[in-house]
Amino acid sequence: MGVSFVNKVVLVTGASRGIGRAVALAFARQGALLVLAARSVERLAEVESEVRALGSDVLSVPTDVTSPEAVTALVDAAVSRFGRIDVLVNNAGIGRVGGVESAAFEDNVRQTMQASLFGMINVTQRVLPVFRRQGSGAIVNMSSVMGRKA
């Protein structure tokens, strides 16, 4: 027997394109209530429209996961709108690559770690108290092929 996501609140970071968009739409097809987060306001609005077209209630919150203030606002908005969060999908991330000899290499690595690792930690730290108050919650952490590259 499968798990029902009808009326479950699912927060998806990096929801404006790619895997995050696909995850959001898949949850919407299962009847979930969606909270979408991403930096791109325009792309986020497009995904929000797609989710609504599938019949799900949705809240879009433009968010940079590297900003603690933005993440706090995201979680507060989700709880204010829906009263809870049942599933967190940590999908936001970037992958800047290039040769180590490149002048931009250090900055690229720093930006990648800030978004892909510390952004995930930031969101998780702010959602965990919600899960604890509720007595339940699930976290899905996405990764990419970047984890296999040296």
- Dig out the tokens for 105 from the structure: 């290499």
pLDDT of amino acid 113: 85
- Whether the predicted pLDDT of 142 surpasses 60: yes
150 or 49, higher pLDDT: 49
pLDDT tens digit string along 29-81? Answer: 999 999 999 999 999 999 999 999 999 999 999 999 999 999 999 999 999 99
pLDDT of amino acid 1: 44
pLDDT of amino acid 146: 56
pLDDT of amino acid 150: 52
Residue written as token pair 């709880």: 79
- Measured CA to CA, the distance from residue 147 to residue 70 in angstroms comes to 26
What are the sequence ranges of the domains in the chain? 9-148
- Express the helix, strand and coil content of the chain in percent, nearest 5 each: 50, 15, 35
Query: Residues near 101 by Cβ (< 8 Å), separated by ≥ 6?
Result: none
Q: How confident is the model at residue 2 (pLDDT cuts 50, 70, 90)?
A: low
57 or 117, higher pLDDT: 57
Domain 9-148 = CATH 3.40.50.720 = yes
- Whether the predicted pLDDT of 116 surpasses 90: no
- Cβ proximity of 39 and 16 under 8 Å: yes
Q: What percent of the chain is modeled with pLDDT above 90?
A: 73
CB atoms within 10 A of CB 74: 25
Average pLDDT rounded to a whole number, residues 120-137: 97
